[in-house]
Structure 1
């Protein structure tokens, strides 16, 4: 193996992979063909490395003699070249290759993608130019679009500010009539009533069709007649009609 002093430049198998020449103090000094030369900070020192592609926050420049990695502008997370950002830091929005504090009029800042989007009409926040996720005040969201009024089959939800499906009431079949029970008296007869009920199977939304009545009353009459074994007419029992 070839040994070298800290400041010497050598071509050796002791160099890191990709290095054409290197030193113990500064790492790679030159790279093999097609690789990018990149300086990494190591405390107070800078050490050269040779990479297939430049790390995030840097862009690659090729030339006949050397390929180098250059740091993007401070407001860019990543870039295509010094004058064209491809991704911005938190709180900045990408617009035509630049990272801006705010978006131009007519465009909406997308906090998730950190870019300015051409949102649908009435949209406050969108993920694409055709898909809104939050509408401006007074508008309702439905299928990525904003509406002043909800279309047929939908109704506004004032808390979510969305158009939700309209639900109408649904009830089951009537049950059997209950037994008669007394509600009043007349001579020789007593007035009775009986009731039947049905169950609500699905409750309506605010603007859906309301439920019809679920309890129904009707009159029934029970006639008084003598009880068996009595001939004086004082013993009576009711008979339902």
Structure 2
């Protein structure tokens, strides 16, 4: 009877020891993942110190702050190198995706335009949007009046023609003109299908044809004298 109790106690004790060992191994594996790449690490807060070339990135996880060692800072952060540690610092502007310093943005989030390190909803006066930036150098005059309507140099005789207008460009910056707005516009316009004087000319032609036809009929007709004579 005693040996059975002893055997049962041994089995329970071994199971407890195996469970504790399994938990320790699991905790050890979890800690190794948490502390991957760290020089100093905490099981609760992750990396506390990183190797010389890596950046310490601290972010919030619930109620705790968690540290990671990264080769490059994530979007919305910029890297600052120090004597003891390199850190990832958050950009001050929430609309900035990548910044050079706390107040100078290098790339804005979608829907914003970048101008001199700031993220704007629209480009300021004197600049135009190009991709996700506002560029200077395209100062434009007002549009000219529309030109007269013509078709191959003719102002009549066709149903449709074209007319154009233009404006001038004064470049003040180093940008290429190809990114500036269009300097000319063209639109279709209606023309007089019949030119002035064309109707009278046609009428004269038709009149001549009619007179000639009448003379031809008269020359072909035969006059019959009445049988009783005069």
Higher helix share: 2
**Which one has the largest radius of gyration?**
2
Bigger strand fraction: 1
